[in-house]
Chains A and B, each alone.
Chain A
């Protein structure tokens, strides 16, 4: 048996001395050497030449491995009988007994064994196993069957049949190497798998020999060297995997694997984006492109393989299939990945806690959390919120004021968001509001419980705002007491202002997100470019999310960005902040395009604005009240104003406090502008005042920040001075600050969360009408209110209800939907005594007419006396209901939505994903572009 060692070198000077040393110490030396160098720019060729006494065959740098091996075989001269070729890499060092063990097994094996491979161990760790034979999964993943980081403890002893062995150390019959050869379409990666698979399909056997050990540095795979053939190792590996899978599959499996690779590649690309590995995502897409843009290459490869398997023994194909990785292998990898992610998150949490508490790495997270006063203050705030929200603990869906009840399931939100045509009211092609997307996502995470989303937001708004405020204030001031006071005062703003009780979803969400966004914005002036860029994206994400609920925040952000140079001590290029202004716009499509037709809606917030009649007085606005029901006595809030003013008296913090006051002024000016605007929307029958919530949050938040900045260490500072007017003023300031929080919290806890926010079933029509409307769009109910009664005359107002009750999100669609004049005319004609109008009413899919009591005689009489209406059961004695006797259909409605809706949704989703990815903590990826 003759063994010819074939060594291919390529910029491997860093490993070659050890490789040569390994060869020299082999207990069984090769009988001949064939040396090939593919354009090394280092001293690889010289090292080889001096070690083996002959110059290597010099080839170009872009020579593929297959061509290099072919050249090596040619240089080795004619084949001898029973000649084997031992393939060697310049980064793989053989153990002294490696070749001897391979030769021993080869000599004891039958003729069907044509290739053998050693056990590969990691170099330089030398202990970790890399491969004991390899195979490939349906997803194209290289499978070794080893645990990650598995150590070689002799657990793999006997030679075993495998699909393929690595070319590093492969001992292969020269005859078969020349007959089959490596695929020239696989220049560097994956040719071992392909070669082994082809041998198996032809009826031959490949064995992994654990007694033979090779140490492999995987220079190309780990990007430790870069050549023309290894510029993007991940992409090339994916191309090779796809090529191998598709070229060696039978025709039926080819179709299955092609679809799987296509879908899997796209999903993997998205997955890489989600974990901020855009380079990997690009590689996946590029690999797909390479495969699909050169179909001829694949066709030729399949033709070659068909020829190779001609004459193969029966069962060879099945035997080869049995050597592939099992189908469940990708699932195992997914579980492994999730486990890794979980461990990584936990590690991040631990690290954050340790940094916060200053504890060493030996301290447990739970122990540190329990010892942190912030934890206990947060628990206290949570307890206060739960006690105050005791009336909201049970019952039907949360609703009241501006808040419509959440749907029964999150599917309603998804449908409303995704569909270009909504069966809401008369029907509408107006796009759903953007805030449905985050609500739907959170609702899905809560196992589809849409009601839990609004409940969590409103009941836990205080603790969530407190948490964010603590994190934000910590970046501004050291110490604890002032920060806890500031966070508590801020957490009470949505409560005492009345936003919570009035169901102002936008203001509540803004109150929760604003501290996090402001915290990110603080770092816009960070000197480290990486942190500054991340701060831009985090701020953009925060503004975008708030803008989905309160679009007015975009204008505030625009003002603040335009004046960014003034806010930050280090010069901040305004243009670099463009994502903060642009991202909210992109994230708000497609709703934004509908909103721009009625720009007034951009000044409102999420929810049913016409459900509120807030008219705050000057004193109420000064004290941070929105007016209307459910707000605390306005004079409770004077303490915040007083302490904000007093904060300006401290000279050493006046500059920072003045900046906070500037923010307050921006908010106040915004409020002033809003107070002069009347908003008219096509689907709302009254003029509306813009939402004051966000502006008031800015004013109150800024005053609290000012007080926190000045209050931090103020007592110690004042106490250390001789007695002047400062001590009494500081004392009064502390009293006002504490009083505002204590009074607000006491009022909240004592009275509970006041109305109109409440929990309970909401129905606008009898149950059977709602059930029918829920089940089909042509089962709608026409709801009538008003008309002349004993209480006075009012116009008859009609609403088409295609559900048991309008749900959160529907109001934004109806607000931008103009009334159907034709339907108005139909109702008018019914009231005026016209016949044949019932049929027209039925053409709107209206099955029932319901008039909640007290019902105007004119309304009741008209429907009583018009043909096409039959009496139906009402839900109360003073209500009336009629059934439309004509079969309802939807012939009067053109239910065509915008063709641009779906593309714009894709834009919105991609924008939000991109924001999330870019705002997420960075993940270093040393494999990419890091050549050792």
Chain B
């Protein structure tokens, strides 16, 4: 062997090893963490009200409840008990269900609830003048276990028997006057610790000791947030009260602003509110009507939950926290109700244009409008068909961050939040392990 061969051997061996070392490892593969699944939905209408009605339907496909609905709207009259609507994969994107009730001066309406892990209810009472009933439904066939926590002005109430409650197929009703008697306004938290539950709360409240009790659904808020938009502020309320509850671990400063057709502006007297952790704060919303406001916007340093309670005419209106509409949102309009759709654009910089479709009782589209919402402002959409009670369902598409509330009246008044329905659920992707 010559020296040249020897050198070549060394170089070839070294080079091979060196180049092999440059290959490194195989980069970790990105596995899909979530999969978009067209899934069935369940909408749970549990009124607990003797005069309750429900309207269900779908703009496509078929939904099932007490009887199947192929396409269109079905008024269910007065179902005795709660009604659980299950929409199949093809119908889930356009299925809707709402419930309403009226008696005398009051009118109550809300979209039927979807199951969630967390529900917050504000402005709840446990006294004779202010009586609230919590209804919890387990939409699935297994057992659901949940905790109920009640907060008063001085913090959490020690209420025995509200932890680890179990619900299966039969809805569970809790009369707060029995389980948590209190003359104060309360905050109720429902947290599912096993499974998911749908919770709704019916509130009977007398504005004064001599007044009749007015009934309304208390809108649920799923998650506390630091930037909230609340709708359902009547044009001319006799009085309006904003309830705030700090769910964070630190004291928070909440910046209050009003939202009207001209934009977002600061209320005349109340600009900021402070709330200690776990504290419920009630703030009057003065002169709101005169300034043309239809909603409230809150910005806080800690996550809060909130709710509006307004007295308009002879009825009480509960203003809900509104969620982003996303790609598509559908809401059912209660029968005989006269309505007005109000859109809020929380983006202070850019206008948003959304498409609003109105459907009749047979599922046919009556009207379609493209509505532009100016930055930070609210706009009302109230075509004559909606005002005349001919519209039974509304679909809003392209809303993204825009919020919407359906203000309905049938003697009294009510505000129904319009929520996003993606028609699919992001569930964890599954793969076989190794």
| 16 CB < 8 A contacts A-B | A618-B21, A620-B21, A661-B6, A661-B9, A665-B9, A668-B12, A669-B16, A672-B16, A675-B21, A675-B23, A798-B430, A798-B431, A814-B434, A865-B196, A866-B141, A867-B141
- From B1, B20, B29, B429, A655 is in contact (CB under 8 Å) with B1
Q: Does A619 contact B (CB under 8 A)?
A: yes
Is there contact, CB below 8 Å, between B35 and A665? no
- CB neighbours (8 Å) of A862 from chain B are 427
- CB neighbours (8 Å) of A657 from chain B are 6
Is there contact, CB below 8 Å, between B6 and A658? yes
Give chain A nearest CB distance to B279 CB in angstroms.
26
Give the CA-CA distance A662 to B34 in the complex, in Å: 52
Is there contact, CB below 8 Å, between B433 and A614? no
Q: Does B384 contact A (CB under 8 A)?
A: no
Task: Indicate the member of A665, A786, A865 with the most B CB atoms within 10 Å.
Answer: A865
- CB neighbours (8 Å) of A834 from chain B are 40
Q: Does A892 contact B (CB under 8 A)?
A: no
Q: Does B10 contact A (CB under 8 A)?
A: yes
Is there contact, CB below 8 Å, between A658 and B5? yes
Since A689-B25, A783-B433, A828-B37 are in contact, a sample of 7 more A-B pairs with Cβ atoms closer than 8 Å, ordered by chain A residue number, is A618-B20, A648-B6, A658-B1, A668-B20, A795-B428, A815-B434, A864-B195
- Please provide the chain B residues from 205 to 253 with a CB less than 8 Å away from any CB of chain A in the complex: none
Q: Does A613 contact B (CB under 8 A)?
A: yes
Is there contact, CB below 8 Å, between A867 and B24? no
Q: Does A686 contact B (CB under 8 A)?
A: yes
Give the CA-CA distance A666 to B428 in the complex, in Å: 47
- Please provide the chain A residues from 777 to 803 with a CB less than 8 Å away from any CB of chain B in the complex: 783, 785-788, 792-799
Q: Does A205 contact B (CB under 8 A)?
A: no
Is there contact, CB below 8 Å, between B434 and A796? no
Is there contact, CB below 8 Å, between B434 and A686? yes
Q: Does A857 contact B (CB under 8 A)?
A: yes
Q: Does A684 contact B (CB under 8 A)?
A: yes
Q: Does B271 contact A (CB under 8 A)?
A: no
Measured CB to CB, the residues of A under 8 A from B are: 426, 610, 613-622, 645, 648, 654-655, 657-658, 661-662, 664-665, 668-669, 671-672, 674-676, 678, 683-689, 692, 699, 783, 785-788, 792-799, 814-815, 819-820, 823-824, 827-828, 831-835, 856-862, 864-869, 871
Give the CA-CA distance A610 to B434 in the complex, in Å: 8
Is there contact, CB below 8 Å, between B428 and A796? yes
Give the CA-CA distance A692 to B1 in the complex, in Å: 29
- CB neighbours (8 Å) of A824 from chain B are 430-432
- From A678, A683, A861, B434 is in contact (CB under 8 Å) with A683
Please classify the interface of chain B as helix (H, G, I), strand (E, B), loop, or mixed, using the class held by over half of its residues: mixed
A687's nearest neighbour on chain B, judged by CB, is B26
Is there contact, CB below 8 Å, between A794 and B31? yes
- Please provide the chain B residues from 386 to 425 with a CB less than 8 Å away from any CB of chain A in the complex: 425
Task: Indicate the member of A648, A674, A834 with the most B CB atoms within 10 Å.
Answer: A648
Give chain B nearest CB distance to A366 CB in angstroms.
45
- CB neighbours (8 Å) of A868 from chain B are 142
Is there contact, CB below 8 Å, between B12 and A832? no
The 10 A-B pairs at the shortest CB distance, nearest first, are namely: A865-B195, A618-B21, A819-B432, A615-B25, A793-B33, A797-B433, A867-B141, A668-B16, A864-B194, A675-B23
Give the CA-CA distance A654 to B14 in the complex, in Å: 18
Is there contact, CB below 8 Å, between A864 and B33? no
Give chain A nearest CB distance to B354 CB in angstroms.
29
Q: Does B78 contact A (CB under 8 A)?
A: no
- CB neighbours (8 Å) of A613 from chain B are 25
- CB neighbours (8 Å) of A658 from chain B are 1, 5-6, 9
Is there contact, CB below 8 Å, between A787 and B25? no
Give chain A nearest CB distance to B42 CB in angstroms.
9
Is there contact, CB below 8 Å, between A689 and B26? yes
Give the CA-CA distance A796 to B16 in the complex, in Å: 40
Is there contact, CB below 8 Å, between A798 and B26? no
Q: Does B112 contact A (CB under 8 A)?
A: no
- From A615, A621, A798, B432 is in contact (CB under 8 Å) with A798
Give the CA-CA distance A820 to B145 in the complex, in Å: 33
- From B6, B34, B40, B145, A654 is in contact (CB under 8 Å) with B6
Give the CA-CA distance A798 to B431 in the complex, in Å: 6
Give chain A nearest CB distance to B89 CB in angstroms.
10
- CB neighbours (8 Å) of A692 from chain B are 20
Q: Does B117 contact A (CB under 8 A)?
A: yes
Give the CA-CA distance A683 to B24 in the complex, in Å: 23
- CB neighbours (8 Å) of A688 from chain B are 26
- CB neighbours (8 Å) of A833 from chain B are 39-40, 140, 425, 427
Give the CA-CA distance A209 to B16 in the complex, in Å: 84
- CB neighbours (8 Å) of B428 from chain A are 786-788, 793, 795-796, 831, 856, 858-859
Give chain A nearest CB distance to B21 CB in angstroms.
3
Give chain A nearest CB distance to B259 CB in angstroms.
33
- From B5, B34, B425, A788 is in contact (CB under 8 Å) with B34
Give chain A nearest CB distance to B33 CB in angstroms.
4
Is there contact, CB below 8 Å, between B33 and A865? no
Give chain B nearest CB distance to A810 CB in angstroms.
11
Give the CA-CA distance A674 to B138 in the complex, in Å: 56
- From B18, B39, B143, B430, A795 is in contact (CB under 8 Å) with B430
Given the interface pairs A686-B434, A832-B37, A832-B39, the reply to whether A621 lies near B425 with Cβ below 8 Å is no
Q: Does B349 contact A (CB under 8 A)?
A: no
- CB neighbours (8 Å) of B192 from chain A are 861
Give chain A nearest CB distance to B23 CB in angstroms.
4
Is there contact, CB below 8 Å, between B144 and A865? yes
- Please provide the chain B residues from 103 to 160 with a CB less than 8 Å away from any CB of chain A in the complex: 117, 138, 140-145
Give chain A nearest CB distance to B131 CB in angstroms.
31
- From A678, A783, A867, B26 is in contact (CB under 8 Å) with A678
- CB neighbours (8 Å) of B12 from chain A are 665, 668
Is there contact, CB below 8 Å, between A871 and B40? no
Give the CA-CA distance A869 to B140 in the complex, in Å: 12
Is there contact, CB below 8 Å, between B18 and A622? yes
Is there contact, CB below 8 Å, between A675 and B194? no
- CB neighbours (8 Å) of B39 from chain A are 832-833
Give the CA-CA distance A692 to B195 in the complex, in Å: 48
- CB neighbours (8 Å) of B427 from chain A are 828, 831-833, 858, 862
Give the CA-CA distance A685 to B28 in the complex, in Å: 11
- CB neighbours (8 Å) of B432 from chain A are 426, 683, 685, 797-799, 819-820, 823-824
Given the interface pairs A827-B430, A864-B194, A865-B195, the reply to whether A668 lies near B141 with Cβ below 8 Å is no
Is there contact, CB below 8 Å, between A867 and B23? no
- CB neighbours (8 Å) of B5 from chain A are 658
- CB neighbours (8 Å) of A857 from chain B are 117
Is there contact, CB below 8 Å, between B430 and A622? no
Give chain B nearest CB distance to A304 CB in angstroms.
71
Is there contact, CB below 8 Å, between B142 and A866? yes
Give the CA-CA distance A102 to B430 in the complex, in Å: 94
Given the interface pairs A615-B24, A662-B9, A675-B20, the reply to whether A867 lies near B140 with Cβ below 8 Å is yes
A793's nearest neighbour on chain B, judged by CB, is B33
- CB neighbours (8 Å) of B433 from chain A are 685, 783, 785, 797-799
A426's nearest neighbour on chain B, judged by CB, is B432
Given the interface pairs A797-B431, A798-B432, the reply to whether A622 lies near B33 with Cβ below 8 Å is no
Is there contact, CB below 8 Å, between A861 and B196? yes
- From B9, B21, B26, B430, A616 is in contact (CB under 8 Å) with B21
Give the CA-CA distance A228 to B17 in the complex, in Å: 67
Give the CA-CA distance A165 to B71 in the complex, in Å: 108
A625's nearest neighbour on chain B, judged by CB, is B21
Give the CA-CA distance A866 to B425 in the complex, in Å: 17
- Please provide the chain B residues from 1 to 60 with a CB less than 8 Å away from any CB of chain A in the complex: 1, 3, 5-6, 9-10, 12-14, 16-26, 28-29, 31-35, 37, 39-40
- CB neighbours (8 Å) of B32 from chain A are 795
Is there contact, CB below 8 Å, between B430 and A796? yes
Give chain B nearest CB distance to A703 CB in angstroms.
9
- From A621, A783, A795, B33 is in contact (CB under 8 Å) with A795
Give the CA-CA distance A684 to B434 in the complex, in Å: 5
Is there contact, CB below 8 Å, between A621 and B9? no
Give chain A nearest CB distance to B172 CB in angstroms.
15
- From B25, B35, B142, B429, A864 is in contact (CB under 8 Å) with B142
